[in-house]
A and B are shown apart, each in its own frame.
Chain A
Amino acid sequence: MPKLSVRNLTKRFPVSDGPSMLALDGVDLDVEEGEFIAFVGPSGCGKTTLLRIIQGLETATSGDILIDGKPARGPGHDRGFVFQQYGLLPWLTAAQNIGFALEAKGVPARQHGDITERVLATVGLKGFGDRFPHQLSGGMQQRVGIARALAIEPDMMLLDEPFGALDALSREILQNEMLGLTERMGKTVLFVTHSVDEAVCLADRVVVMSPRPGRIRDIVPIDIPRPRARLGEALRDTPEYSAKRQLLWNQLMELV
């Protein structure tokens, strides 16, 4: 049984004075346990909407989300979400932001300290717990976002263009760490990105979506052997990498 099944999912957004907009049209997808799926596509293809519906932040107009075969209605602690921007509460410190997720899950307060310290260390932010978001760089803020999602020990991680707002260097560093993290933990990951490069580096399969209406256009398997993290830059020199990058690039160019 797949970890996650998306069944004939449709999402319509009402438009004032006009026909409603079809953001997602009959989307079907199965994701296996431990798989890393990246979603790419031009803006308006509904990739973020799809991720938000899976997380339960939005409701589908029709269709089903099945997790371990059971229909998922609304959010759950089995899914950890990482937001693109504004993902942290600016009036809480890094540790308190992580504590927020723990408290929401009902983890007893006396365990918060240990868990927070552990996940901050995992993302390389040991000792930064008492910093406010504005005292951290964009890359560090996003690490806190990832740490918070890890803290609730979800089966699945959902990331919505998590590195989209970062500079090129931070972005590449975080991509590599993300690779190491997911390969160590073996969690199921859904990753929305607008970067073909990022998708090929990280994913087992890349879902290409087309806009207006949002549909799955193709699913491209990436057969670069794992663990990829230790390859570092050499990852981008593999023939599979350049072949798949070229293939995806061509597909996206047709869609724009």
Chain B
Amino acid sequence: MQRSAQPGTASKNAVDPLAEPDPRRQKRRERILQIGTLVLLLAAWEFAAHDANKLLVAMPSDIALATWDLLVSGELLWATLDSMSTFVLGFVIASVLGIVIGFAMGTNRTVEVILDPYINALYAMPLVALIPILMLWVGIGFLAKITIIILFAVFPVIINTVTGVKNVDKHYLDIGKAFMASRAMVYRKIIAPYAMPYVASGLRIALGRGIIAMIVAEFLTSISGLGGLIINYTNAFETAKAFAPVLVVAVLANALTLLVQKVEARFGRWRRR
């Protein structure tokens, strides 16, 4: 290789104070900071809880052991399956219902005028207030759980879908008109893709609210699933065991949000970054 072709070789090893920091090193530094903080927090908790009343406060090491026990016994797994099957069903129904109602409201002024006040009022009110009355109607079983999850999750989907559908750029609708696209084509190829990002952010909000609804429903109605475990172990003053399902709920909520984001990104491939 020619020497003259590499004028930068010598200076490459020298530290350039103006150079951008290596992004990979920067990333690693940040990770170490975050993990370090977590370890420190857990250690402080362990230390502080050491002398506290074991009935009220659990140490991280106890929680880890309790979680392991519940995993081995299968109790945690069954509770998770119980909660998740109800949640997924409720969330799917709420999503479909929300998108259909949102589309109807966004494309039909009459439907919008009739439904809008109720949707907005119900979205804004604390729906927990309705749960006791709901229990009178649908009991305390599976149906009650599903109903509560749908009630909590459906409104953000409706509201975001309506916003997306109504905001469709007139320029895009003009394309449909100029080339005489059928109504079905305009819905499928213009309105639906345009509204997609709005729907997706509605789904993300619905996800959070749906998980809250699931736990609340399990607290108040059937005392089953992960919420049921939390209630039962708290009532039994087995604080360490009560923390295990809390951990699972936290992990699940984050994993599901990540999943929705992935789906969103898959459908949003056409957008500029």
Docked-complex contact A104 and B270, CB < 8 angstroms: no
Cβ-closest chain B residue relative to A99: B189
CB < 8 Å: which of B179, B194, B271, B272 contacts A101? B179
What size tier do the contact residues of chain B reach? 20 to 34
Question: What is the count of residue pairs linking A and B with beta-carbon distances less than 8 angstroms?
Answer: 63
Docked-complex contact B179 and A86, CB < 8 angstroms: no
- List residues of chain A with CB within 8 A of the CB of B194: 91
Is there a chain A Cβ closer than 8 Å to B258's Cβ?
no
- List residues of chain A with CB within 8 A of the CB of B174: 57, 83
Nearest Cβ in chain B — how far from A229, in angstroms?
27
Is there a chain A Cβ closer than 8 Å to B116's Cβ?
no
Nearest Cβ in chain B — how far from A55, in angstroms?
6
List B residues at the A interface (Cβ < 8 Å).
Answer: 169, 171-172, 174-182, 185, 189-190, 193-194, 196, 269-272
- List residues of chain B with CB within 8 A of the CB of A81: 178-179
- List residues of chain B with CB within 8 A of the CB of A104: 176, 179-182, 185
Cβ-closest chain A residue relative to B182: A104
Interface residues of A in 50-88 (CB under 8 A from B): 55-57, 75-77, 81, 83, 85-88
Docked-complex contact A57 and B272, CB < 8 angstroms: no
Docked-complex contact B178 and A86, CB < 8 angstroms: no
List A residues at the B interface (Cβ < 8 Å).
Answer: 55-57, 75-77, 81, 83, 85-92, 100-101, 103-105, 132-134, 148, 152
CB < 8 Å: which of B178, B196, B271 contacts A134? B271
Complex Cα distance, B174 from A105, in Å, reads 15
Complex Cα distance, B181 from A75, in Å, reads 10
22 CB contacts below 8 A, A to B, read A57-B174, A57-B178, A75-B179, A83-B171, A83-B178, A86-B171, A86-B172, A88-B175, A89-B172, A89-B189, A89-B193, A91-B193, A91-B270, A92-B270, A100-B189, A101-B179, A103-B185, A104-B176, A104-B180, A105-B180, A134-B272, A152-B179
